[in-house]
Amino acid sequence: MNRRELLLAAAAMPIAVAAGSRATFAQDAQEVAIGVLYSMSGPSAQVGVDAVRAIETAAEIVNGTFDFDLPTARNAGLKGLGNAKVRLVTADHQADPQKGRAEAERLITQEKVVAIIGCYQSAVSATVSGVCERYGIPFLCADSSSPSLQHRKMKFFFRPAAQDEMFSAAMFDFFDAEKKKGKKVDTLALFFEDTIFGVDSSTVQRRLANERGYKLVADIKYRSNTPSLSAEVQQIRAANPDVVMPSTYTTDAINLVKTMGELGYKPKNIVAQASGFSEQVTYDAVGDRLVGAISRASFSLDLAAKRPFIKTVNDMYKARSTRDLNDNSSRELMGFLVLADAIDRAGSKEGEKIRAALAATDIPGERTIMPWARVRFNEEGQNPDASPVLLQYVGGKFVTIFPENVAIAEPIWPMNP
């Protein structure tokens, strides 16, 4: 999708959402305004468009009546607030933390939102959550996975999905399991961008490699959105690792794979920290070179075999976006439902009461679209029961390969025999 198409897609959003991003509306008892803050322009525009579509789908579930067991689905609107409807107020942070700060303040002070959900880029979520903390407004971190976000002693920060310590631990559990099967997994190459996401991810993976006895033969930090990755790919190729472990966003993921192809380098295995390696646009561009690539994830459509309503929800999202739910959009959709459930139980638009309801959340995993054990929050606002999975790109789609209790296929290892 080019820039013109993205702008047209954004323009085609429902009138209430688009207008809400430009004007101040007086709230009444019949609506609850919630801020939706994503990058709707620039390199991450498609991720932002998909995020809004996912949250629109969640809002449809909240505002309508559906015969499946998701939070708020069976009642039309928020029962605790007299069946009030949720209204989305979207804003574009352009992947810029300072723009995110300004937009968060506008959403809170002018649009009078009761909570904000966002923001994909961890650097933006760090800034926006700080604004929310200052104003006493809950911030639902739907998708940013930097571990440091939860370690700031904030009262109003909540993250239902796993963070990169949890995701990386699942990767190394997988490596351990493959070694026990006699597969070669001894040497690793870290490849990570220079933002909070990449740095935090690499810090965890470096520690786990040392603790689990894996050798790092390359440890490469690169500048985000750099035009050339030739030197970095040459360094990885020279190191010849058993596994390349990228922590990159979409533009850099595509650049990395294209550069590998141009230099004739075929990695033995790729096990990615999702982000760019979970986006359909990446596979549309270079999917033929990523057969067998593995990504950590929070979601798999495979789970629909056990919970049929997941297919229904996916179809609702696909009608808006023309694509299936993925690692990011599933977290955004489910995160909004968790937030709406808390507002419903709070029976209030007051930030402190919503915060208390979020802190008291306890949703069984079976009442989500995710493979999580349950949704609850510890004292840092993190859900410790957000169980990750690993997916492998095979036959033009992702299949679940780990852990064994949810896997539907054996992993192909190495990806390039």
Residue 408 resides in a domain? no
Query: Does 170 lie in the same domain as 158?
Result: no
Tokens 């085609």 found at: 12
pLDDT in tens, 33-70: 999 999 999 888 999 999 999 999 999 999 999 999 99
Query: Does 127 lie in the same domain as 14?
Result: yes
CATH number of the domain at 342, please.
3.40.50.2300
Question: What's the domain count of the chain?
Answer: 2
Calculate the alpha carbon distances from 316 to 78, 301, 333 in Å. 20, 14, 11
Query: Does 356 lie in the same domain as 243?
Result: no
Residue 327 resides in a domain? yes
pLDDT in tens, 367-385: 999 999 999 999 999 999 9
Query: Does 170 lie in the same domain as 278?
Result: yes
pLDDT at 317 over 90: yes
Across the range 294-311, mean pLDDT stands at 91
The reported pLDDT for the residue numbered 279 is: 86
Residue 94 resides in a domain? yes
Residue 415 resides in a domain? no
The reported pLDDT for the residue numbered 302 is: 87
Poorest-confidence range of 118-132, 249-263, 292-306, 373-387?
292-306
Query: Does 9 lie in the same domain as 154?
Result: yes
Query: Does 251 lie in the same domain as 371?
Result: no
pLDDT in tens, 199-251: 999 999 999 999 999 999 999 999 998 999 999 999 999 999 999 999 998 99
Query: Does 253 lie in the same domain as 395?
Result: yes
267 preceded by a cis bond (ω within 30 of 0): no
Across the range 289-316, mean pLDDT stands at 93
Query: Does 78 lie in the same domain as 205?
Result: no
Query: Does 133 lie in the same domain as 7?
Result: yes
Q: What span, in angstroms and rounded, lies between the C-alpha atoms of 376 and 383? A: 5
Residue 248 resides in a domain? yes
Poorest-confidence range of 8-17, 135-144, 303-312?
8-17
The reported pLDDT for the residue numbered 15 is: 32
- Per-residue pLDDT band at 278 (split at 50, 70, 90): confident
Query: Does 20 lie in the same domain as 107?
Result: yes
Q: What is the mean pLDDT of the chain?
A: 91
Residue 396 resides in a domain? yes
> What range does the domain containing 32 cover?
3-162+304-375
Calculate the alpha carbon distances from 6 to 2, 49, 54, 308 in Å. 6, 8, 16, 32
pTM for the whole thing? 0.83
Query: Does 50 lie in the same domain as 27?
Result: yes
Residue 414 resides in a domain? no
Across the range 262-290, mean pLDDT stands at 93
Task: Show Cβ contacts of residue 272 under 8 Å, excluding neighbours closer than 6 positions.
Answer: 245, 246, 247, 248, 253, 278, 293, 294, 295, 296
The reported pLDDT for the residue numbered 16 is: 39
Q: What span, in angstroms and rounded, lies between the C-alpha atoms of 12 and 277? A: 27
pLDDT at 7 over 80: no
414 preceded by a cis bond (ω within 30 of 0): yes
Residue 195 resides in a domain? yes
Three-class SS state of 73: coil
Query: Does 139 lie in the same domain as 261?
Result: no
pLDDT in tens, 86-109: 999 999 999 999 999 999 999 999
User: If we measure between CA atoms, which residue out of 196, 63, 132 comes closest to residue 358?
Assistant: 132
As beta bridge partners, residue 391 has: 295, 400
